[in-house]
Amino acid sequence: MLQEMDIKRLTGWFEKDHRVMPWRTEVTPYRVWISEIMLQQTQVAAVIPYFEQFMKEFPDVASLASASLDEVLKLWAGLGYYSRARNIKRAAELIHSSGTFPSTVPDLLALPGIGPYTAGAIASIVYGIPAPIVDGNVIRVFARQMAQTQISSSREEVWNWAREQVLEAKKMGISPRIYNQSVMELGATLCTPKSPDCGHCPVSKSCKGSSTPGLYPKPVSKRWIEVEEDRLLIRVGPKILLTQARVGEWRAGLWDLPTREQVEEPGVLIAKVKLIVTRHKILRKIYSSNPPSDLKERLRGSEPELQLFDENLLPAHGTGLKKSLQAVRTTDLRVGQKAKAGTDVHV
């Protein structure tokens, strides 16, 4: 447990040395919510430009609620974990229809995509509610403070610790906003996984694991799901044929090259791409193929499974399509160079 002097040192350090972030300089329920969702599984440096552009396009709940899912996904492209974008779109619609942003932990938990950590972060940072938060940074600080190797966000022990500490801080007159952000900041900047800076840590004296911080917590090995898939690059004049993942499917709402199951054409292998998406390692083979014979009929449907798009005006898509087209351009360039030199070309 952090004692009174530890909490004072920790929060004093934070107020003096915390990083400047756009969602900290202007604190509103909407801005904190969007930032916390973006920061899930994503580094701060990567999030800042996305957050600033998102605020420019959707400055409030009303503008986000009225936007199309495709518009939201386009701005999210590159951040990954696209279910986050779909959830904030649905949540914005619910908030806008209710007329007010939820201000209690239970009401926040009722929104799509908001779990105990995000609800606690919004409640404490925006409303000053002494709600606990537990993320990777908090877990690491806890594990080292208590010298525990086996710990995870599902452990009741760490949630109890976080709850007791934020309540203790409030009794001392320290805002839950300051205390919770202090612990997260410590884990993100000094109490890091690989190179902890114990010499500058404000609570190192009370830390049971400070002599061997690398032992706590014990790293959890990632289990990868390996996937192979065939995608078809089909050009019709200046346009390419794309398909959109449906609701309930992996990467729902995003556009990508069609699969062999959708377009039964053999094609010629022109590129291979390796992708890492969440816990999936994907080997994607891209084939140049002819348009299906029934393409015109399929494009006329009320909800066409396939659509044509200008390559320079693509709809919302993920890294899969982006890297696939980059690989194809590289192949085209290599083929062009070899053809110009008069050498044999092997694809």
The set of catalytic residues is 36
**Do 255 and 243 form a contact (C-beta atoms < 8 A)?**
yes
Q: For residues 210 and 92, give the distance between their C-alpha atoms in angstroms, rounded to a whole number.
A: 43
Rounded to 5 degrees, what are φ and ψ at 20? Answer: -85, 125
Q: Is 109 left (phi over 0), alpha (psi -120 to 50) or beta?
A: alpha
What are the start-end ranges of the E strands in the chain?
A: 225-236, 239-244, 255-256, 268-277, 280-289, 306-310
Q: For residues 242 and 258, give the distance between their C-alpha atoms in angstroms, rounded to a whole number.
A: 6
Q: Maximum distance among all alpha carbons in the chain? A: 79
CB within 8 Å of 337: residues ≥ 6 apart: none
**Do 210 and 17 form a contact (C-beta atoms < 8 A)?**
no
Report the candidate in 17, 322, 327, 297 with the shortest Cα–Cα distance to residue 181: 17
